[in-house]
Structures are given as C-alpha cells and as structure tokens.
C-alpha cells in the first residue's frame, strides 16, 4: 500500500492538468445494446538492420508509386525536422550518409522511376558529392532546400508549401526546433488542420519565421497551435507570436514527450482506426514514421524501448484500432513493449442504438470499479458517440464554488452567482473532457462560441476541490478567469471516473471539473 501512496503522490505532482479559455445535449443514461462488434487489432512492425533499411521499407511497403523522395542526413538532426513539412504524408523520407549513399538506399533509388530527389539541408548535412552522384549517375533531378540554419531551412520550405497569399485563413502549428519529439508529435495536428510546422527556439523566433508570419495580408491566419510546454517553447515566444498575428496560440503539451504525444493525438483525432508507435528516444525511426501518420491519418504515439507510460496505455485502451504499426526494430521498441501494446488494445464494442439513430455507439470495457456506474454519451464526431462511465459529484462542485467565491472576496470582487441555465453545457463539458482534455471540443469549436458563455476553466487529476482550486490559482490563465471583474455568473460541474495507478492494475478516482463563466 505504501507503494500505491507513493504513486498517487507522483500522479498528484505530475498529472494534474488544468486549462483555461475565455473570450448541448444533457447526458443521458444508456444501457441498451444492439449488434455488438468486438474490435480486432492487427500489429505490423516495420524494421531492418539499421535506420537506412527501416526508411527504405517504409517506402517499399507504403509508397511504391511515389515519384519523389525526401533525402536527409542520417546523422545530423536539425534540418531533418522540416522534412515532414515537405513530405505532407505523400512523399517518403530516406536517409543518406553525408558523403555517400548507403548501398541499400542507392539500390532502392535505382529500382524506382523517380522524377525528383528532394534534399533537405546544406552541404554539411548532405554533400555536393551525393547530389552530383544522384544527378549524374542515377539520372534523377535533385532539388535542395538549404539555409543559414534549421530555422531558415524551415521557413523556406513553409513559405513555398504554404503561401501566405491564399484567400482562405491559414492555420499554423509551432514546435521546438531543438527538441525533436515535439516536432514529430506535431505532424498529425498539422495534417488535421492543413498547417505547416513552424520551428522556433525556446525563447526566440528567427527573423525568417517572423518574415513569414508578417507576410500574411490582413492577418489572414486561423488557428495557431503550439506543441510543447514552456521548457521547449516559452510563454515569451507565444506572446510574440500573438503580437505579430493578433491570434492567441493554443498550447498542447504534457509533462513529458509521451504524454504530449497523447495530448496531440486527442486534439487531432476523434476515433482513429490506426495508430503508429515509435521511439521517443531515437529520432531516426520516429521521423520516417511521420509521413505514415499523415498518410493514414493516424496518431504517432511515443514509447520508450522497454515501457509505455500510463497515458499511452490509457489512450490505447480507450480507442478501437483496426491496425497498428511499430516503426523500428527491437533495439528501439522491444518485444516487451509490443506485447504491452497488444495486451492493452481496446476491448471496446461498437453498437447501434435506437436512442441514437444513424450513429455508432462505442462502449469501453469498464475499468475495475466502474462496472456498476452509469453511462453518459459523448458525441465525438457527427456519426459516433462514446459512452463514458462515472458519476457527477455535486458536493465537490459546491465546495469549489464556495472556495471560488472566498477567493474572489479576498481580492475585493463580488461573488459569482450560480447560473443553472448553464447546467446542461457544464455537464456535457465535464464528460467531453474525459475523452478530449482540451478546450477544443470533440466536434470542433469552443464552448465560448455559445453566445452566453464567456470563459471556461477545465481540470483533471486525483485532487478534490481544494486541489483543483490550487491548480487553477497557480496557472495564469485560470487565475485570470476566476478573478475577472466582468464575470457575474458561473456553473461548476465535476465528473468522477476511474484511472489506473502508474504501473498497476489498481484504480483510483479521477476528477474532471469545469467552470463555465458568464458576464
């Protein structure tokens, strides 16, 4: 039991999350089932003796008819990040030595009737000798994208692939140019929103990237997402992006690269049928997995060589994958991890239900302790409803309201009145964030798009009322919402479900709380 106490303390410190934003259908109990279909998952490992062969196999198996390839250094990381922007899921990524082609890669290039090889990076990454060999001996056209540094290379590719002169609004994804995992995690989000990935350093935006941002006429930018926490992209950079574009960036992050991969997956997909697993420790396999993620519209989930985190474990169990891929050999993603993935695969059933005509209804296998809890529907797409099990905790909601008004009183502000007209949307949001813990709702849009709602705080974690309030107080955005003088109304709802302890089959209560604010 002492071990469990230590684990719950770690969870309290690490996995309590709270987000805020400012500017529905009442959940029903559902027990009827019809036509259950057990979801079966198949696993494919894409592997080879080295990074060259792994990349080649991705092309051979999934890009047989591609007329182009992207060629990057097998050793130098910086320029390679932008190869996913060039690929867009349509062009495979291959590796080369700096001064010569790998024999297996050269054989593959000779066997294909290619129109073009696209080299990413300068001659220190991929030498002129390699370029000349491809052009003169293999008779394939070469186009090179290079620049002063990784940010110049990135801006050159982004400017060409995503013109700022389009009439429609352009979405943008921003990630660290120094931490490969965040840039890899960003690829599926970029695919969903038809967005480039712009690279920044932790505390600075390069002049090349600024020039691109400033080139948009009439600030014709839609959404901006930043993948990664403050340790990789600082709030200073977010503020600078906002000042240039007049758009407030939305940050998507976790406490580590593995949690971030899950957060991005949740923000990018509602009910994915495929998933790709790659090493969060070895860049080269994860990079060649990125085009597959975009091609298959599948999340990339990062794992370590010998384990998967509880977040990845929960995501696997919460989705019904028909097909799963591991990109990389057993030295980067072990057989043990493969077994953990397969043993955690979803035991969901997909049903039809007369209460939801024309829609698929997904039911998860209940976690221990949830077997007798009620089910509540969460609409995750136009044609799909996910049932979540748990209950509303009105006592905790009342405690949060009391603490909130005490906090406002301490700051000389009027108490907020409970607005019961907000109850339906508050209950809906409390269950929606069980599935997708983001302000962007499962079907898109924000709760503040509703005319009488002006702000939202969300929280999930093992803490109860006082812990949730402390999490909100310690986050500038949440704290600002709770202390807005213009707010006069609020509705708070708390949904309680179960989650696994880290590395354990035992469960604990996990709380999902929302504060909905109005003027």
Query: Has residue 184 got a pLDDT over 60?
Result: yes
**Token pair for 444:** 């898109």
Query: Has residue 24 got a pLDDT over 50?
Result: no
Q: Which residue has the higher pLDDT, 442 or 372?
A: 372
> Whose CA is closest to 225, among 267, 173, 299?
173
2-34+355-518 has CATH 3.40.50.720 classification? no
Query: Has residue 226 got a pLDDT over 60?
Result: yes
Distance of CA 425 to the CA centre of its chain: 25
Please enumerate in sequence order all residues whose Cβ is within 8 A of that of 307, keeping only pairs 6 or more positions apart, or say none: 336, 337, 340
Exposed, middle or buried, 97 (CB in 10 Å: 0-12/13-18/19+)? middle
**How many whole angstroms separate alpha carbon 15 and alpha carbon 446?**
23
What share of the chain in percent tops pLDDT 70? 90
b/e code 185-222 from CB counts within 10 Å (16+ = b):
bbbbbbbbbebbbbbbbbeebbebbbebbeebeeeebe
Sign of CA dihedral 120, 126, 131, 137: negative
pLDDT at 26: 24
> Whose CA is closest to 201, among 222, 225, 228, 232?
232
The pLDDT of 417-442, averaged and rounded, is 90
The dihedral over CA atoms of 82, 87, 89, 93, expressed in degrees to the nearest 10, equals: -90
Cβ distance 174 to 200 under 8 Å? yes
The pLDDT of 70-96, averaged and rounded, is 91
Q: pLDDT tens-digit profile of 338-376?
A: 988 888 765 567 788 888 998 888 887 788 899 999 999
The pLDDT of 329-344, averaged and rounded, is 88
> Whose CA is closest to 452, among 514, 518, 513, 400?
518
> Whose CA is closest to 187, among 269, 256, 67?
269
Query: Has residue 34 got a pLDDT over 60?
Result: no
Residues of the chain with CATH 3.40.33.10: 2-34+355-518
pLDDT at 437: 76
- State the DSSP code for 26: -
Q: pLDDT tens-digit profile of 38-66?
A: 444 589 999 999 999 999 999 999 999 99
């Amino acid at each position: 039991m002492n071990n469990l106490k230590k684990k719950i303390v770690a969870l309290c410190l690490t996995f309590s999350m709270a987000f805020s934003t400012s500017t529905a259908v009442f959940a029903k109990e559902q027990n009827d089932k019809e036509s259950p279909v057990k979801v079966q998952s198949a696993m494919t490992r894409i592997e080879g003796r080295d990074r060259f062969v792994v990349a080649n196999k991705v092309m051979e198996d999934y890009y047989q008819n591609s007329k182009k390839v992207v060629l990057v250094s097998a050793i130098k990381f910086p320029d390679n990040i932008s190869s996913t922007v060039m690929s867009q899921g349509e062009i495979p990524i291959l590796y080369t030595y700096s001064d010569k082609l790998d024999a297996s890669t050269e054989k593959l290039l000779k066997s294909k009737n290619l129109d073009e090889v696209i080299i990413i990076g300068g001659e220190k990454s991929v030498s002129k000798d390699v370029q000349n060999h491809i052009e003169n001996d293999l008779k394939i056209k070469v186009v090179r994208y290079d620049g002063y540094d990784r940010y110049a290379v990135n801006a050159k590719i982004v400017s060409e692939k995503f013109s700022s002169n389009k009439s429609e609004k352009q979405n943008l994804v921003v990630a660290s140019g120094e931490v490969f995992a965040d840039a890899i995690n960003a690829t599926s989000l970029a695919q969903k929103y038809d967005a480039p990935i712009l690279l920044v350093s932790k505390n600075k935006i390069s002049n090349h990237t600024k020039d691109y941002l400033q080139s948009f006429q009439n600030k014709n930018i839609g959404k901006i997402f930043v993948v990664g926490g403050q340790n990789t992209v600082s709030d200073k950079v977010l503020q600078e992006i906002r000042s240039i574009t007049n758009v407030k960036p939305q940050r998507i992050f976790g406490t580590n690269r593995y949690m971030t991969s899950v957060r991005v997956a949740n923000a990018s997909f509602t009910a994915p049928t495929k998933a790709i697993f790659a090493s969060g420790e070895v860049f080269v396999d994860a990079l060649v997995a990125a085009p597959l993620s975009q091609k298959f519209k599948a999340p990339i989930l990062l794992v370590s060589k010998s384990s998967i985190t509880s977040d990845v474990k929960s995501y696997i169990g919460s989705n019904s994958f028909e097909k799963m891929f591991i990109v990389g050999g057993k030295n980067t993603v072990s057989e043990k991890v493969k077994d953990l993935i397969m043993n955690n695969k979803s035991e969901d059933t997909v049903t039809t239900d007369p209460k939801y005509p024309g829609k698929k209804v997904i039911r998860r296998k209940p976690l221990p302790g949830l077997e007798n809890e009620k089910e509540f529907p969460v609409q995750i797409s136009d044609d799909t409803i996910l049932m979540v099990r748990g209950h509303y905790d009105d006592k905790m909601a009342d405690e949060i309201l009391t603490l909130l008004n005490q906090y406002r009183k301490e700051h000389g502000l009027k108490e907020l009145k409970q607005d019961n007209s907000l109850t339906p949307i508050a209950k809906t949001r409390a269950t929606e964030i069980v599935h997708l813990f983001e302000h962007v709702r499962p079907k898109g849009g924000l709760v503040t798009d509703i005319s009488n709602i002006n702000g939202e705080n969300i929280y999930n974690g093992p803490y109860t009322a006082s812990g949730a309030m402390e999490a909100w107080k310690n986050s500038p955005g949440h704290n600002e919402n709770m202390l807005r003088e213009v707010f006069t109304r609020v509705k708070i709802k708390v949904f309680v479900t179960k989650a696994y302890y880290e590395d354990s089959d035992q469960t604990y209560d996990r709380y999902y709380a929302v504060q909905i604010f109005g003027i």
